[in-house]
Amino acid sequence: MSDAELITLSAILAAMVRAATPLAFAALGELVTERAGVLNLGLEGMMLMGAVAAFGTAHAGWGYAPAIAAGAAAGAAMAALFGLLALTLRANQVACGLALSIFGVGLSAFLGKSLIGSPVTALPALPVPGLAEIPVIGAALFDQDILVYASFLAAPALHWFLFKSRRGLILRAVGENHDAAHAIGYGVLRVRYAAVLFGGAMSGLAGAYLSLAYTPMWVENMSSGRGWIALALVVFATWRPSRAILGAYLFGGVTILQLHAQSWGIGVPSQALAMLPYLATVAVLVLISRDETKIKLNAPACLGKVFHSGR
Q: Are 52 and 108 in contact (CB under 8 A)?
A: yes
CA distance 199 to 239: 14
Spell out the domain ranges in the chain.
Answer: 3-298
**End-to-end CA distance of the chain, in Å?**
67
Question: In this structure, is the dihedral angle defined by the CA atoms of residues 303, 306, 309 and 311, taken in order, positive or negative?
Answer: negative
CA distance 283 to 266: 22
Task: Give how far Cα 150 sits from Cα of 24, 76, 98, 156, 163, Å.
Answer: 10, 18, 28, 11, 20
Alpha helices by DSSP H, the chain: 3-35, 43-59, 64-83, 93-111, 137-142, 146-164, 166-176, 178-183, 188-209, 226-236, 241-263, 270-274, 276-289, 292-298
User: What dihedral angle (degrees, nearest 10) is formed by the CA atoms of 158, 161, 164, 166?
Assistant: -160
pLDDT in tens, the chain (311 residues): 666 777 778 888 899 999 999 999 999 999 999 999 999 999 999 999 999 999 999 999 999 999 999 999 999 999 999 999 999 999 999 999 999 999 999 999 999 999 998 889 999 999 999 888 888 889 889 999 999 999 999 999 999 999 999 999 999 999 999 999 999 999 999 999 999 999 999 999 999 999 999 999 999 999 988 999 999 899 888 899 998 998 899 888 887 877 666 666 666 676 666 777 777 777 777 776 666 666 667 889 999 999 987 55
SS3 category, 102: helix
- In one-letter notation, the amino acid at residue 300 is P
Q: Are 159 and 280 in contact (CB under 8 A)?
A: no
CATH T-level topology, domain 3-298: ABC transporter involved in vitamin B12 uptake, BtuC (1.10.3470)
CA distance 107 to 292: 38
How many CB atoms are located within 10 Å of the residue 91 CB? Answer: 15
Task: Give how far Cα 309 sits from Cα of 65, 66, 180, Å.
Answer: 40, 38, 11
- The count of residues in the chain is 311
The structure's pTM equals 0.93
Q: Using alpha carbons, select from 276, 287, 251 the residue that is nearest to residue 16.
A: 251
